[in-house]
Amino acid sequence: MHQESTDSADSTDVTRVDATPAALAMLRRLAQEHGPLMIHQSGGCCDGSSPMCFPRGEFLVGDSDVLLGVIGVGKDVAPGDAVPGEGVPVYIGAAQFEYWSHTHLTIDLVPGRGAGFSLEAPEGYRFLTRSRLLTDEEAAQPAAQLPAPGTVPGD
């Protein structure tokens, strides 16, 4: 007789951020050229709330930044599709996260000129953030709770 566990194995499946196959392909290409990468979801103004991609270490993450997650690695990514450098951490400012705390973000890639200094800009594409509301079940899972500001992968 099959008995469901009361410990939800699905709680680790809840993520705050993921990426489309097109975005992952561009991130792999950029990582091969620039080394390990990171993304910061900008807060607006001149760069228009775009996800900005940088070589890891060129954008300083501060105490007011929140790690949403790491894309390009994990059980949902086929080994050949993984992004070199142990994936791409995605950050957002804590104040902006408060507005988006009820959403799941997906990094996508679309044709067009990228903004600012984001690495994909010269390629004729730009990263774009798409969002959807978390379901009540997702929002209740521990993995969906607010990460600690200033968290850096590997800390």
What is this structure's pTM? 0.81
Arithmetic mean of pLDDT, 18-28: 94
Given pLDDT bands bounded at 50, 70 and 90, which one contains residue 145? low
Report the pLDDT averaged over residues 142-147.
61
Rounded distance between C-alpha atoms, residue 15 and residue 67, angstroms:
11
Within-domain flag for 141: no
Residue 82 has pLDDT above 50, yes or no: yes
DSSP string, 95-144: HHHHHHTTEEEEEEEEESPPPTT-TTGGGTEEEEEEEEEPPHHHHHSGGG
Phi/psi at 27 (nearest 5 deg)?
Answer: -65, -40
Q: Is residue 5 part of a domain?
A: no
In which domain, by residue range, is 118 found? 17-74+86-136
What token pair was written down for 119? Answer: 């690495």
CATH of the domain at 123: 2.60.300
The rounded radius of gyration (Å) of the Cα atoms in the chain is 16
Mean pLDDT of the chain: 81
Q: Which residues contact 24 (CB under 8 A, 6 or more apart)?
A: 71, 72, 77, 81, 83
Q: How many domains does the chain have?
A: 1
In a domain, 9, yes or no: no
Mean pLDDT to the nearest integer, 11-16? 67
Confidence of residue 7 (pLDDT cuts 50, 70, 90): very low
